[in-house]
Amino acid sequence: MDWRALDEHILVKPGAKAGLAKRDPVSADLFPDRKAAEKRCGECADAINDLQDRLWAERTRALLVVLQGIDTAGKDGTLRGVFNACGPLGVAVTAFGRPSEEELAHDYLWRVHRAAPKRGMIGVFNRSHYEDVLVVKVRKLAPADAIEQRYAQINAFEKHLTENGVTILKFMLHISKDEQRERLQERLDDPGKHWKFNPGDLEDRALWDDYQAAYDTMLTRCSTAHAPWRVVPADKKWRRNAIIGAVVHGVLEEMKPDYPKPDWDPKSFTID
């Protein structure tokens, strides 16, 4: 499927309701065949690497990829599947965990703005400023009226970034409650995955409905023309990676980054 057709399925149209509950976390039609999806993802990952090289050579613009999703939704797996081919030079990953004392002493966007990618880079946020309208809302870590103001503040912040050369791609990795149970169970069953298990994840799972509601609200209120949200069916890891790879590739290609032309003639030099 052409990436634009794929994109139609996952885009949250600015101004429309996100309708998260009606979105299918499986969506088998989008990539019915696993082998074909894996092949496509590999091709996209290589193409993203090539385009990133040009983006860096140009050094005038940046791409910011925001990954959000409930625990086990696959944020780390997406990074590996889609961006590993780029290597560490062109991609800067920032994971946003619980804010430190220093971070809490500033406004909530302070740490986020510092991590925004510089010109030439692809920045990937593993969690993001959206935690400040998700976990913070569900667990009531800030006053309700302060949280209410954040949707507009985030939209303004993202507009500021886009007007300053940062293209923003936001992906919500959408998994079902059953799939999360399986993935958490795997973390208990497999000694190699014990380190990934955090009892706090079960507390968050108990708040599943509240999280879904908070996601639905932020998807609806923060899907803008300058930085729309995309809800990615993520119950199958290979389909998730293929979809995200295709969209990142499509968008980067449309940016047409190119190697700058030198203002000297390569033929005018001889190397002994």
Residues 178-207 that bind ligand ADP (CB under 6 A): 198
- Closest-CA residue to 154 (of 128, 180, 177): 128
d(CA 152, CA 150): 5
- Closest-CA residue to 129 (of 104, 150, 143): 150
- Closest-CA residue to 77 (of 179, 214, 212): 179
173 neighbors 232 (Cβ within 8 angstroms): yes
Least distance to ligand ADP, CB of residue 30, Å: 25
- When binding is defined by CB under 6 A, the residue of 15, 88, 97, 266 that contacts ligand ADP is 97
Site map (CB under 6 A) of ligand ADP, residues 136-155, x = contact: x----x--------------
- DSSP per residue, 59-105: -S-EEEEEEEESTTS-HHHHIIIIIGGGHHHHEEEEE--S--HHHHT
Task: Please say which residue, 55 or 64, places its beta carbon nearer to ligand ADP.
Answer: 64
252 neighbors 51 (Cβ within 8 angstroms): yes
- When binding is defined by CB under 6 A, the residue of 85, 109, 135, 213 that contacts ligand ADP is 135
- When binding is defined by CB under 6 A, the residue of 83, 96, 125, 211 that contacts ligand ADP is 96
Least distance to ligand ADP, CB of residue 141, Å: 6
Provide Rg for the chain, Cα atoms.
20
Using CB under 6 A as the binding criterion, the count of chain residues that bind ligand ADP stands at 12
Task: Please say which residue, 173 or 251, places its beta carbon nearer to ligand ADP.
Answer: 173
Task: Please say which residue, 136 or 147, places its beta carbon nearer to ligand ADP.
Answer: 136
Q: Can residue 98 be called a binding residue for ligand ADP (CB under 6 A)?
A: yes
Give the residues lining the site for ligand ADP (CB under 6 A).
71, 96-99, 127, 131-132, 135-136, 141, 198
